[in-house]
Amino acid sequence: MLFKLTDEQKMIQNMVREFSRKVVAVKAAERDQTKEFPADNFKQMGELGLMGMMIPEAYGGESADTVSYVLALSEIAYSCASTSVVMSVQNSIVCESLYKFGTEDQKQRFLQPLACGEIIGAFGLTEPDAGSDPVSQTTTAVRDKDHFVINGTKRFITSGKHAKVVLVTAKTDPDAGHKGISCFIVPKGTKGLIVGHEEDKMGLRASDTTDLIFEDCRVPVSQMLGKEGDGFKIAMSGLDSGRIGIAAQSMGVAQAAFDAAVKYATKRRQFGVPIIKHQAIRFQIADMATQIEAARQLVFSAASMKDRKEPYTKEASIAKLFASEMVNEITARAIQIHGGYGFTKDYVVERLYRDARVFTIYEGTSEIQRIVISNHILKDKRKP
Q: Is 195 in the site for ligand CAA (CB under 6 A)?
A: no
CA 327, CA 257: separation in Å to the nearest integer?
9
DSSP β-ladder status, 273-274 and 269-270: antiparallel
E strand or H helix at 212:
strand 209-220
Q: How far is CA 159 from CA 122, 201, 321, 329, 379, in A?
A: 6, 13, 24, 27, 36
Q: Is 359 in the site for ligand CAA (CB under 6 A)?
A: no
Q: Please identify which residue in 64, 80, 89, 330 interacts with ligand CAA, judged by CB under 6 A.
A: 89
Marked catalytic residue, from 57, 198, 363, 367: 363
Q: Please identify which residue in 79, 106, 126, 241 interacts with ligand CAA, judged by CB under 6 A.
A: 126
Q: 199 by DSSP, 3-state: which?
A: coil
Residues 311-330 that bind ligand CAA (CB under 6 A): 313
Q: Is 125 in the site for ligand CAA (CB under 6 A)?
A: yes
CA 251, CA 70: separation in Å to the nearest integer?
9
Q: Please identify which residue in 153, 158, 250, 291 interacts with ligand CAA, judged by CB under 6 A.
A: 158
Q: CB of residue 144 vs ligand CAA: minimum separation in angstroms?
A: 27
Q: Please identify which residue in 42, 59, 148, 156 interacts with ligand CAA, judged by CB under 6 A.
A: 156
Closer residue to ligand CAA (CB): 154 or 333:
154
Q: How far is CA 127 from CA 24, 167, 368, in A?
A: 31, 14, 17
Per CB under 6 A, the segment of 37-45, 212-220, 324-332, 365-373 that binds ligand CAA is 365-373
Q: Is 228 in the site for ligand CAA (CB under 6 A)?
A: no
329 is catalytic: no
Query: 230 and 211 in contact (C-beta within 8 Å)?
Result: no
DSSP 82-138: HHHHHHHHIIIIIIIHHHHH--HHHIIIIIHHHHTTSS-EEEE--BTTBSS-GGG--
Closer residue to ligand CAA (CB): 265 or 372:
372
Closer residue to ligand CAA (CB): 9 or 313:
313
CA 79, CA 21: separation in Å to the nearest integer?
6
Question: How far, rounded to the nearest angstrom, does the alpha carbon of residue 273 sit from its chain's CA centroid?
Answer: 41
CA 53, CA 240: separation in Å to the nearest integer?
16
Q: CB of residue 316 vs ligand CAA: minimum separation in angstroms?
A: 8
Q: Please identify which residue in 69, 148, 214, 362 interacts with ligand CAA, judged by CB under 6 A.
A: 362
Per CB under 6 A, the segment of 39-47, 127-135, 255-263, 270-278 that binds ligand CAA is 127-135
Cα 15–19–24 angle (5° rounding)? 150
Catalytic residues: 363
Note the residues at the interface with ligand CAA (CB under 6 A): 89, 123, 125-126, 132-135, 156-158, 178, 232-233, 236-237, 239-240, 313, 362-364, 368, 371-372, 375
